[in-house]
Chain A
Amino acid sequence: SQELEQSPQSLIVQEGKNLTINCTSSKTLYGLYWYKQKYGEGLIFLMMLQKGGEEKSHEKITAKLDEKKQQSSLHITASQPSHAGIYLCGALNYGGSQGNLIFGKGTKLSVKP
């Protein structure tokens, strides 16, 4: 079965600093989704990547999928307190047929003002 490993597990950064979160898959990724979760709330969709080498940006967040489609990174530039939360990578389940997702354990981001 497919597994997603995220690193680091947690991250504390000073406001204004850049940071990167990684997501590594045990199998080729056919769709990689980044979500943000605030404590006690739902998952907010950020970005989706499908093609090897693909890169997408939204505001100060950039996500990339490597050429081999087994690793993705999420980069935040000039972090702000509003970026704090848990970032989850999700992938289409390798064996699933209806698009169900498997998730990594998440990376907890804290931004100190």
Chain B
Amino acid sequence: EPEVTQTPSHQVTQMGQEVILRCVPISNHLYFYWYRQILGQKVEFLVSFYNNEISEKSEIFDDQFSVERPDGSNFTLKIRSTKLEDSAMYFCASKGDRGSNQPQHFGDGTRLSIL
């Protein structure tokens, strides 16, 4: 069964450094999402992406964050200057179409640790 893949599974970075998290969504999906989960807290929406542009973003997704789909398969989340509070599990998800009856499929996540 097709799945969303994320790399790396664990990223350790010094505070202030840039980090790029990578995702390969399911190949025929059109809608892409990033969520994060701080340890012990809820999964929170960050950003949605469709037709090569951001379609919606949360308050968390400030100027330090950016997303890109550099080619036909990868979907990346960049954090420009990481802070301690960016430490979290980051999940990528994709969905086939806009219909509300389509579930989002999630990757296994990237655990980001900021030192």
| Chain B positions within 8 Å of A106 at CB level | 42
Question: Provided the pairs A100-B45, A103-B42 are in contact, do residues A92 and B105 lie with their beta carbons within 8 angstroms?
Answer: no
- Which residue on B lies nearest to A3, using beta carbons? B42
| Chain B positions within 8 Å of A31 at CB level | 100-101
A103 to B58, alpha carbons, bound, how many Å?
14
Contact in complex: A50, B95 (CB < 8 Å): no
Within 8 A of B (CB), among A90-104: 90, 92-93, 96-104
| Chain A positions within 8 Å of B111 at CB level | 40
| Chain A positions within 8 Å of B101 at CB level | 31, 48, 50
Question: Provided the pairs A98-B31, A99-B95 are in contact, do residues A33 and B100 lie with their beta carbons within 8 angstroms?
Answer: no
| Shortest Cβ distance from residue B108 to the other chain A in the assembled complex, whole angstroms | 4
Number of A-B contacts (CB under 8 A): 70
Contact in complex: A42, B109 (CB < 8 Å): yes
Q: Does B115 contact A (CB under 8 A)?
A: no
A104 to B111, alpha carbons, bound, how many Å?
20
Contact in complex: A30, B100 (CB < 8 Å): yes
| Chain A positions within 8 Å of B6 at CB level | 42
| Shortest Cβ distance from residue A36 to the other chain B in the assembled complex, whole angstroms | 11
| Chain A positions within 8 Å of B13 at CB level | none
| Shortest Cβ distance from residue A51 to the other chain B in the assembled complex, whole angstroms | 10
Contact in complex: A99, B31 (CB < 8 Å): yes
What are 30 residue pairs bridging A and B, where the CB atoms are less than 8 Å apart in the complex?
A31-B100, A33-B103, A40-B111, A41-B108, A41-B109, A42-B6, A42-B91, A42-B109, A43-B106, A44-B106, A45-B105, A45-B106, A50-B101, A96-B45, A97-B55, A97-B56, A98-B56, A98-B98, A99-B31, A99-B95, A99-B98, A99-B104, A100-B45, A100-B56, A101-B104, A103-B44, A104-B42, A105-B41, A105-B42, A106-B42
